[in-house]
Structure 1
């Protein structure tokens, strides 16, 4: 088991700011859900990629390179304006590693100015106290870190051992919501790692989810009986949120067909 960093409590001021942002975000999420039921003529959630470069090279990942330049800020704002005009409710920034983008804070501010919920998916390696406080001030509402194992290996360096200190830092300084996503499936040596990671996330006051990782051909495979047990246990640890209304992962985990519905018709 990775050595865990001692947890210092967040200040009363940070706890208050965190609670207020959570309540405001939850109100906007409820509005988003209501809007989705009323009309299908707008996007609900859009992933946007301002940065293809990444500081890591996880062997299962085909979503990065080591040469692309960041999308210029003016172009990012133009794309966000188009999405806002379409009625998009939530934007999740991913990559590559989006924290490598030089203007990420302003990208987040622009999302908030246009009334969209601002989320970020990162590997977490660039997070520190100063960066976290900048994200607080920019108005970030959701942050997700995916942790692949307890101890780094040849497949992935995104481990609890390497990231635990940053998780503790987030628990102390972040006013946005933090979700830790663990993984099961192809390439995962020890399925028990997902449960250990999820328990640590909950211990730190974060939400926890679990994803099913694809193989080198990009295919998802049903989980084995023991993996399914761990999958259900991790899911039970997590809190209910708007992102869990779709139960497709349960069907994927069991090898069942899922009836997909396209909102665009």
Structure 2
């Protein structure tokens, strides 16, 4: 049963540029401009009119955008919940400007060991993450640690949780690796079982729907769970609407100042109707599209995701914002 019929999330790619070269991501390899403030102002009004409640300011590295604070402020004016995930390299420099504008601030950290994390990111950024945690806490922010889980680093969860998250009262978000465009990877059933156990620990968030989906072999085109195009609007740095999702990127539509009319157009809605049903959608388990997909349709994944979603919102206090919607 479909609970919400309108899009709820926007993945807004501020730039594809990045100051890291992670081996499990290929976004940083793409040439890219930066989002303009004028285009964003036009689009955020249409996002609100379409029913979007959350904007994920993403990339690339979103803090490379020198007007990020102004973009966030525009989103907050429209009553949006804002999220930013960063590798931490630039956060200490811009933290004061971003203060109070980010509802969910995530610092990426893939190992509690400096050398391992820096190797996975292709740049020395472990120390900057540690510095960023201190700066954010001094400002009264409540950042999370986003841990991308692979077979080779799953054994580091305990140390990261005990040495970094618990002492700093941070939520540890377990982000199971996914596969796309010949990058990323998969997790074994044993690793998924271990993740499930960790998801029950204090200050640990794991969407159990992610685990169930992987056990089920991912999305199946014959009976798709993915609602990427109807729940999530993807906007590129070139100010284009990307469908059905960023990772598949089948078609891009220039927005030209009227995002709402474009999204509701017959051509776009025909593509929306193909969400989860295209050949490339078979086996897909991409977290950033499955999270909103689980939230809008009552099925077994909705029930699997519900306890962890309630847990995170209780810890972070974001349930108060959700009630407004």
TM-score by length of 1: 0.71
Higher RCO structure (Cα 8 Å, ≥6 apart): 2
Report the CA distance between 1:174 and its aligned residue.
3.8
Distance in 1 between the 2:120 and 2:102 partners?
30
Would the alpha carbon gap of residues 110 and 167 (structure 1) be closer, same or farther in structure 2, given more than 3 Å must change? same
Distance in 2 (CA, whole Å) between partners of 1:222 and 1:81 is 40
The alpha-carbon deviation at position 38 of structure 1 amounts to 9.6
Deviation at 1:261, TM superposition (A): 5.5
Q: Tell me the equivalent position of 1:190.
A: 153
Query: Which stretch of the first structure deviates more once superposed, 95-104 or 246-255?
Result: 246-255
Contact 2:57–2:85 under 8 Å retained in 1: yes
8 Å contact from structure 1 (residues 112, 118) kept in 2: yes
Please list every run of 5 or more consecutive structure 1 residues that lacks an aligned counterpart in the other structure.
1-36
| Partner residue, 1:58 | 22
Tell me the residue number matched to 2:137: 171
User: Deviation digits for residues 22-69 of structure 1, max 9, x if unmatched?
Assistant: xxxxxxxxxxxxxxx996232222211111111111112112247422
CA–CA separation in structure 1 for the residues paired with 2:104 and 2:129: 18
1:143 is aligned to: 105
Aligned residue in 2 for 1:248? 209
Q: What's the CA shift for 1:171?
A: 2.1
**Aligned counterpart, 1:234:** 198
Match of residue 132 from structure 1: 95
Q: Distance in 2 between matches of 1:190 and 1:39?
A: 37
Give a deviation string over 1:78-109, Cα, whole Å, max 9, x none: 22222111111111111001101011101000
- Does the C-alpha gap of structure 1 residues 247 and 190 become closer, same or farther in structure 2, counting only changes over 3 Å? closer
1:169, distance to aligned residue in structure 2 (A) = 2.3
In the superposition, relative to structure 1, how do residues 256 and 39 fare at CA in structure 2: closer, same or farther (>3 Å)? closer
Q: Could you tell me how far apart the structure 2 residues matched to 1:211 and 1:221 are?
A: 12
For the 8 Å contact 1:152–1:159, the answer to whether it is kept is no
Change beyond 3 A, Cα 1:207–1:192: same
**Cα pair distance change 1:38/1:190, threshold 3 Å:** closer
2:79 aligns to what SS in structure 1? coil
When normalised by structure 2's length, the TM-score is 0.59
Hey, what's the Cα distance between the residues in 2 that align with 1:119 and 1:58?
Answer: 21
CA RMSD between the two structures: 3.0
Figure out how many residues of one structure are paired with residues of the other and give that number.
Answer: 220
Instruction: Determine if contact 1:181/1:210 at 8 Å carries over to the other structure.
Output: yes
Quote the offset at 1:136 in angstroms.
1.4
SS in 1 for 2:108: strand
- Distance of 2:166 and 2:125 partners within structure 1: 16
Q: Give the structure 2 partner of residue 123 of structure 1.
A: 87
> Structure 1's 126 and 219: CA in aligned 2 closer, same or farther, altered over 3 A?
closer
Residue deviations 1:164-204 (CA, integer Å, cap 9, x gap): 232222222243x311111222xx53322233223322321
* Superposed counterparts of 1:11-30, under 5 Å: none
